[in-house]
Structure 1
Amino acid sequence: MWQAAYGLATRLALPFVLAYFAWRGRREPDYRRHWQERLGRGAVYLDHPIWIHAASVGEVVLATSLVAALVERRPDRSLLVTTMTPTGRAEAIRRFGDQATIAYMPLDTPGATRRFIARIRPSLGIFVETELWPNLIMAANRTGTPLALVNASVSERSAANYARPVIAAALKAMLSCFAFIGAAEPAHADRFESLGAAGGVVAVTGNLKYDQPVNEGRHREARQLRRTWHADQRPVWVAASTHAPEEDELLTVFARLRRRHPTLLLVIVPRHPQRFDDVAGLIEAGDWRLARRSLADSVNEATDIVLVDTLGELPLFYALADVAFVGGSLTPGVGGHNVIEPAAIACPFVTGPHVREWREPLRDLTTAGGAVVAPDAVSLERVLTNWLACPETALRDGRAVRATVERHRGALQRTLEGLAVLLPTDRRTP
């Protein structure tokens, strides 16, 4: 019953979704491209690939170590990586373009998902994080495609919502299609089982975010960039993955920090490319001396703020930073962004209070002392002031959070062990 109702709802919604893409494409042209893939069409000629779905940039980054491991273990098997957003697609091409075919996941209508599975004929489907699309999952299940959910999590609040009768039936049907669910925490494993995952399917693998590869040459590259910027003796604050209206608050904090630390350099890395020009305008309206990364503007002693309006460089700037702020966290609605990334590179950081997606990693990182959850911008300023006033403490705290990340590694190996029985044995076996 629910499948028929959901299928009808997605068919009726399709014109509105396509209209939304067309409207959004006025400002972000990439939303108007590759529509055939959105409808489950287009040429993807692969031989029963291992299919990995990573919805957007965060999931693509998370999948990096997994893709590398699968390429190493199964060089005979082609890989397909699907995403849902243009930024996710661009990041996937940048990271995996020479290792995998990159495409959009089809919209979750019965027809699009059926065409997609029929064209791709995957030997294994791996969903990164809790990406549950009913029509797609059912279409894969009907063809006998083994499915896995990795780095899976479900919050207590979400579990309560999923327990409602109609949703519960749909969720149980979807979870029953998975041959392996790798849960990020024991509590998540318990919730998946209570929501209907089959016995023996769920395993606690740990959080893959801790297992992201760290480029040990990144600090050397960052030191060189600081010399190029004439910033060897300047403290650097990186504000990463920012959203509106966070930049307004951060610029106010920056102005106050400048009174104590007049040489402080702020590096702002907005989360979404379509906002680059808006953030540049906001900075210029405050009469700050701005350098834009995309324009290769010169950075020198007179520069106040660097705007990183490029993609894929955030790890470099975490390595360059003395202290960092992780955005999407000062106002409700976003849920925060990757707090393990700065920790893994030994950068002490502060984040706002709205971090529902990251509470569990933050529990251990804040205990280490190199991560702080600030309830508001005033508290954020206080934390940054303390670190900037005592660089030795900032260095010590950065090493402490990196050590915490190192202790939590191992999820990749456990995930691969869970996937091992699902991986095709050779190229002749679909």
Structure 2
Amino acid sequence: MTFILYNALVSVFLILYSPVHIIRLIMGSKYRESTLPRLGFQSYPKADKSKKTYLIHSVSVGETQVAGTLASEFKAEDPNCRIFVSTVTETGQAVASKLKDVDGHFYLPYDLWPLTNKIFKYIQPDAVIIVENDLWLNYLHGAKVRDIPCYQVNAKLSASSLRSYKKFAKFGQLLFEPMHHFFVQSETFRERFEEMGIAKDKLTVSGNIKLDSNPPFLSESELNDFKSSLGLQDTSLNHCLIYGSTHAGEEELALETHNKLKKNFPELQTIIVPRHPERFDKVCAMLEKSGAKFSRASQIRDDQAAEDILVIDMMGALMKAYQIGTIGIVCGSFTGKVGSHNFLEPSFYKKPFVFGPHTYSQPGFYQLCKQANAGLQCTMEELSEELDKLLRDPQKQLEIGESGYKIISAAKGAVHHTVEVIIKELEG
């Protein structure tokens, strides 16, 4: 009965939502690329039963980067295996297309049985791996009826999600039923999954495998080339602030903070990296309207010097930007609509990081930082004052950078352990 009701609701949703799909196709919105594939109009790789095949599902950028890390580890264990990645967003697809150890990628279709069934019919994977929390009933049960084991990696379960699952206990039970094993981020999440009725022997605390990734580390010459491509001179990077993954309202905060700090730090360089590419033009329009002098990275020409406010309007540059910065300000945390991103990203490079008061989307990261006294948390109103103090205190910068890096170091080995357990289970 639950399956019938669920599929009826999904069907009704797609019918009611069809005018939106049509408008997207006609108007060329940011979702145009994914509209038809998610409705099932896409091709899938063909099965090759002579090789182990892993199907990894992620949602967007962060999860797809985790998928890439997992893919590299699987390939290290078995170079002949095949790995395919599905995503939901366009930005996720952009990341997936650049993963060197992935054999193919596609959009996960809407969760209707005929659409999800095609995936298993064509690819015939040996295992399905879900990164974090994007679980879909028909998709998972499509694997279950074919005896394909499913694994949830980097799993987390918020207190509000736990309450929702308890409220709809039958649905929650069906959703988790196909899962063979859960690799959870922390003891807190393990306890919540147990409270959901998941057996202890199906739960492993692996830590947050986002911290066990391999972000780009640029050599000195590569760093110089990157800075040159952005129109940055070495002298302009003595006090360089990187606003990473900004959302609406946070670019205005960056501009306001820049204007306040510029009086005391004449060489201040502010670099803004918007989270979503469809907002690049909006951010630049806001800066232009404000009268601020700024540069767009995509428009920098040879030997051209960037203004002291620079918008990086290209994908895949954030981690490189953190390497050239003095301080990373991890955004999404200054707006209540997002709840932060991974505010430990600057720590891969031992860079000090600052984040805002809204961290509800990243409870695991917040707990790690709180326990290790890592990072600097402040409100929008406090940001300029806190950055002023931090820019004047190189020793404090070093301490924050080191404390964050210790958290990163402690997470090493999580990916290897996760992949090792999955391979052993598949081998029986």
Normalised by the size of structure 2, how large is the TM-score?
0.91
Aligned-residue offset at 1:354: 1.0
Distance 1:224 1:104 in 2: 34
Higher deviation after alignment, 323-332 or 407-416: 407-416
Measured at CA, do residues 281 and 117 of structure 1 come closer, stay the same or move farther in structure 2, by a change above 3 Å?
A: same
Q: Please list the CA deviations of residues 215-247 of structure 1 after superposition, one character each: whole Å capped at 9, or x if unmatched.
A: 443566335544661133541101010000221
The offset of 1:304, in angstroms, is 1.9
Note if 1:394 corresponds to 2:397. yes
| CA shift for structure 1 position 46 | 3.3
CA deviation map 1:380-417 (0-9, x unaligned): 22221111112343133212311221123221122123
Contact 1:242/1:268 (8 A) holds in 2:
yes
Deviation at 1:171, TM superposition (A): 1.2
Which residue matches 1:99?
102
Q: Distance in 2 between matches of 1:42 and 1:34?
A: 14
In the TM superposition, residue 364 of structure 1 has moved relative to its aligned partner by: 3.1
Going from structure 1 to structure 2, the CA distance change for 1:397 and 1:142 (only over 3 Å counts) comes to same
Deviation by residue 1:258-308 (Cα, 9 ceiling, x = unmatched): 121122111000000000000011111222222211223468667121111
The amino acid across from 1:386 in the alignment is K
Is the 1:368–1:404 Cα contact (8 Å) retained in structure 2? yes
Out of 61, 72, 76, the position equivalent to 2:76 is 72
Instruction: Look up the equivalent residue of 2:177 and give its one-letter code.
Output: S
Aligned-partner SS, 2:59? coil
Structure 2 contact 344–353 (Cα < 8 Å) conserved: no
Spell out, residue by residue over 1:60-98, the C-alpha distance to the aligned partner (whole angstroms, 9 max, x if none): 1122221100112122221110000111001110124x6
Change (3 A) 1:236 1:93: same
Matching of residue 20 in structure 1 with residue 23 in structure 2 = no
Q: Aligned partners of 2:263 and 2:187: how far apart in 1?
A: 47
Please tell me whether residue 240 in structure 1 is matched to residue 241 in structure 2: no
CA distance in 2, matches of 1:294, 1:358: 31
- The amino acid of 1:393's aligned partner reads K
| 1:81-119: CA deviation from partner (whole Å, max 9, x where unpaired) | 0000111001110124x6320101111112211222222
Partner residue of 1:420? 423
1:15 and 1:365 mapped to 2: Cα distance? 45
Q: Is the 8 A contact 2:182 2:202 kept in 1?
A: yes
1:256: which partner in 2?
260
Query: 2:72 & 2:162 partners in 1: Cα distance?
Result: 32
Segment drifting more, 387-396 vs 351-360: 387-396
Q: Does structure 1 residue 153 correspond to structure 2 residue 153?
A: no
TM-score (norm 1): 0.91
CA distance in 2 between counterparts of 1:20 and 1:424 reads: 46
Structure 1 residue 57: Cα displacement: 0.7
**What are the ranges of 5 or more consecutive residues in structure 2 without an aligned counterpart?**
none
* Residue 31 of structure 1: aligned partner: 32
- Tell me whether 403-412 or 203-212 shows the greater mean CA deviation: 403-412
* 1:7 aligned partner, one-letter code: N
Q: Runs of 5+ in structure 1 lacking a partner?
A: 426-430
Tell me the distance in 1 between the aligned counterparts of 2:28 and 2:243. 24
1:131 Cα offset (Å)? 1.5
Q: CA deviation at 1:349?
A: 1.1
> Does the Cα contact within 8 Å between 2:353 and 2:400 map onto a contact in 1?
no
Partner in structure 2 of residue 7 of structure 1:
7
Q: Which runs of 4+ in 1 moved over 6 A?
A: 298-302
- Once residues 314 and 355 of structure 1 are traced to their aligned partners in structure 2, the CA distance between those partners, rounded to angstroms, is 20
RMSD: 2.3
User: Relative to structure 1, is the Cα distance of residues 219 and 313 closer, same or farther in structure 2, using a 3 angstrom cutoff?
Assistant: farther
Q: Summarize the alignment of residues 62-211 of structure 1 with structure 2, pairs less than 5 Å apart.
A: 62-96=66-100, 99-164=102-167, 167-211=168-212
Deviation per CA, 1:100-154, whole angstroms, max 9, x where unpaired? 2010111111221122222222111000001211111111111111100001010
User: Residue 306 in 1 paired to residue 307 in 2?
Assistant: no
Q: Is the 8 A contact 2:67 2:85 kept in 1?
A: no
Deviation at 1:8, TM superposition (A): 0.5
The separation in 2 between residues aligned to 1:27 and 1:269, in whole angstroms, is 24
Query: SS where residue 356 of structure 1 aligns?
Result: coil
**Contact 1:328 1:337 (8 Å CA) reproduced:** yes
For the Cα contact (< 8 Å) 2:21–2:35, is it kept in 1? no
Q: Count how many residue pairs are aligned between Structure 1 and Structure 2.
A: 421
SS in 2 for 1:262: coil
CA contact (8 A) 1:335 1:357 kept: yes
Shift of 1:37: 5.3
For residue 65 of structure 2, the aligned residue among 56, 61, 64 is: 61
Question: Taking structure 1 as reference, are residues 255 and 22 closer, same or farther at Cα in structure 2, changes over 3 Å only?
Answer: farther
Q: Which moved more, 1:412-421 or 1:218-227?
A: 218-227
State the shift of 1:368 in Å.
Answer: 4.4
Q: Report % sequence identity.
A: 27
**Partner Cα separation in structure 2 for residue 219 and residue 378 of structure 1:** 36
For 2:319 and 2:88, the matched residues in 1 are separated by 23
Residue in 2 that maps onto 1:428: none
Alignment of 1:216-231 (within 5 A): 216-217=217-218, 221-226=222-227, 229-231=232-234
Q: Following TM superposition, by how much is the alpha carbon of 1:329 offset from its aligned partner in structure 2, in angstroms?
A: 1.2
More moved, 25-34 vs 276-285: 25-34
CA contact (8 A) 1:292 1:306 kept: yes
Q: Distance in 2 between matches of 1:15 and 1:94?
A: 34
Q: Per-residue CA shift, 1:356-385, capped at 9, x if unaligned?
A: 1223323333554551121x2121222211
